[in-house]
Amino acid sequence: MKITSWNINGIKARLDNLVSWLSESQPDIACLQEIKSVDENFPRLEIEALGYHVETHGQKGFNGVALLSKQKPDEINRGLPLLSPSDEADEQARFIEGVFSVDGGVLRVVSLYLPNGNPVDTQKFPYKLDWMNRLEKWAAGRLALEEPLVLAGDYNVIPQPFDCHDPSVWEGDALFRDETRSAFRRLENLGFTDTIRNTTDADKVYTFWDYQAGAWPKNNGIRIDHLLLSPEAADRLTSADIEKHVRGWEKPSDHVPVVANLGFQPA
């Protein structure tokens, strides 16, 4: 199964690119982030015409995640659960989980869009860290099921200095702050495998290039889109890729698709 993650940066602006990419890449499950659309306005007919089942968790003008799959999911869960009943409700649409029947059991796939966290001197940074803490607690519970699990998305985390073209540019930024990177390591240390780093330790491996200052032609990028695999999913990992060429298309997203190929077959 080919599982992908792509921050599309607005479904309305990028629908033609999405249709072209789905036709070319043929992912079995595509996890989208930042669809910037309410559920009822998502262009499902164009995507269903390609043979995909569509599940969304949308929000007007901001955020929003989706799962597009050739196989209909058995179960869909929307929204990252709160840690306790006393927690304030989280209205931001950043998390959707699908459960799919595969040979030998089930496969859980999450499309997530982690908060950016900037500016760090506002409430946006504590919200980011709180969201990461909630994700860690949720993931620990899912890992206890000992089922294949894929956490796919735009994490807004630069894990290591060699995951960006110039670390000095990102000093103090929420994506590269020590607190952010520590939270990401805690999540990984639960037992997850970083798909791309499991297959290469090369530098200049990026998933995002800003629209400004010629970042794309200069390859001044960062790696912030990640596919994290539970041990049961990592055991089936056959290859990984970053479909970088999509960034060169007309009217591109500033992110590109990240790919994990897993040795599962639909049940």
Catalytic residues: 113, 154, 255
d(CA 26, CA 244): 16
Q: Is 156 annotated as a binding residue?
A: yes
Q: Any binding-site annotation on 24?
A: no
116 annotated as belonging to a binding site for a ligand: no
* Residue 203 counted as an annotated binding residue: no
- 255 annotated among ligand-binding-site residues: yes
β-sheet with 95-102: strand ranges across: 75-78, 95-102, 105-113, 149-154, 225-229, 193-194
Asked whether residue 220 is marked as a ligand-binding residue, the answer is no
Residues contributing to the annotated binding site for Mg(2+)? 7, 34, 154, 156, 254-255
Residues contributing to the annotated binding site? 7, 34, 154, 156, 254-255
